[in-house]
Amino acid sequence: MSSQNQSSVLHKFKDILFSTMSSEELLSSMDSFNAREDDVFLVSYPKSGTHWIAKVIENIPNAEITLTSPIELGDISKFEELKMCCKRRVIPTHLSYNMLPVDIKQKQCKVNYIVRNPKDTAVSLFHYYRENPNLPGIESWAAFLELFLRGDVVYGSWFDHILTWEDHKNDENILFIFYEEMKKDPSKSIKKITTFLGINVSEREINQIACKSSFREMKNDAAKENCDANKTICALTSNRSLVFRKGAVGDWINYFTSKQKIVFDELFAERMKHSELARHFED
Ligand code: A3P
């Protein structure tokens, strides 16, 4: 991919690549955002399962919430738009902890952080780049993996992102959800989310949420939808159906050569050497 191609659809802010749908003015005004104490932030590195958690939260009976578009998506009028929400706001974001508006930290708003095995995340982002006209063209998986390892992709390095958030994983207002655990036992993760949000749900309701947020249901629903990129959490696409590809754990094995795995694992070992989260991603 040429750097010209990359710069035509992405721009750098504080050394991190963003889609041109996130204006520089908005990104540089994050600290003027007024949080509400009952706001919920749905945080992730791209392709970690954001839509999945959003669907779970949207389906909690009597939750009385509004799911907004990502806080960093749009122009400077964004915060005015968010002010118009009357219900409890659930606001997605792919920002690292360091870039999060300061008022969210001061008010200790609830944050649901979803994290996924970085190899599967890389594969998912590769496909998303390939199919999304709003992202730079990609020549091959090998070329994309190099960009991913350098953090030269939207929202920067997976390692930097997760490490800024890991420092806060024991904060009372932050809940970590692991994609792989949720895949194994959706009801258990859904229960964690509802408890964290302080909403009582019955076992029956949890099972209903699990059904409505299953990969198959979500993929079918998306195929029927005609979504507007600015109004939904599809931060980088005008086509929601691009989001639901395989929804599997371990698909990376079909992409990484043994040499690529070694390179990846070496970088992982180096960057995650002090991380307690690293054990979640041991293959
Ligand atoms: P794949 O590309 O591996 O299929 P995000 O919502 O953060 O953009 O993440 C998208 C990834 O989450 C995609 O991964 C998508 O298929 C997967 N996903 C979305 N909904 C899911 C669900 N209900 N169950 C499992 N995976 C889901």
What are the residue boundaries of the structural domains of the chain, listed by start?
Answer: 3-281
Ligand 1 neighbour 237 (Cβ under 6 A): no
- 49 close to ligand 1 (CB < 6 Angstrom): yes
Per DSSP, the three-state class of 243 is coil
245 lines ligand 1 (CB under 6 A): yes
Question: 94 an active-site residue?
Answer: yes
Mean pLDDT of 31-53: 97
**pLDDT value for 7:** 58
Ligand 1 pocket check for 43: Cβ under 6 Å: no
pLDDT tens track for 44-58: 999 999 999 999 999
ipTM of the complex as predicted: 0.99
Which pLDDT band holds residue 6 (cuts at 50, 70, 90)?
low
- Choose between 274 and 132: higher pLDDT: 274
Instruction: Decide: 71 and 78 in contact? Cβ < 8 Å.
Output: yes
Instruction: List strand residue ranges (DSSP E) for the chain, in order.
Output: 10-13, 16-19, 40-44, 65-67, 88-93, 110-115, 174-178
- Residue 136 DSSP label: -
Q: Choose the CATH number for 3-281 among 3.40.190.10, 3.40.50.300, 3.30.70.2610, 3.40.640.10.
A: 3.40.50.300
Q: Minimum mean pLDDT among 30-34, 188-192, 256-260, 278-282: which range?
A: 278-282
Confidence of residue 171 (pLDDT cuts 50, 70, 90): very high
Q: With bands split at pLDDT 50, 70 and 90, how would you rate the model's confidence at 282?
A: confident
pLDDT bin (cut points 50, 70, 90) of residue 133 is confident
What pLDDT does 263 receive? Answer: 98
Residue 185, Cβ neighbours under 10 Å: how many?
A: 11
Dump pLDDT digits (tens) for 212-271. 999 999 999 888 775 444 444 444 345 667 889 999 999 999 999 999 999 999 999 999
Q: How many Cβ atoms from other residues are within 10 Å of residue 244's Cβ?
A: 18
Mean pLDDT of the chain: 92
Q: Which atom of ligand 1 is nearest to the CA of 114?
A: 7
**What's the mean pLDDT in 31-47?**
97
Of 70, 41, 89, residue with least CA distance to 232: 70
> What does each C-alpha distance from 232 to 39, 135, 194, 227, 240 come to in angstroms?
18, 17, 22, 7, 9
Residue with CA nearest ligand 1 atom 23: 215
pLDDT of residue 231: 46
**Lowest mean pLDDT: which of 114-118, 132-136, 215-219, 248-252?**
132-136
Report, as an integer, the average pLDDT of 35-45. Answer: 98
Tell whether the model's pLDDT for residue 76 goes beyond 80.
yes
Do residues 41 and 110 lie in contact, with contact meaning Cβ atoms separated by under 8 Å? Answer: yes
The pLDDT-based confidence of 283 (bands split at 50, 70, 90) is low
Out of 94, 127, 168, 280, which one is annotated catalytic? Answer: 94
Question: What is the rounded average pLDDT of the residues 77-86?
Answer: 95
pLDDT band at 134 (very low <50, low <70, confident <90, very high): confident
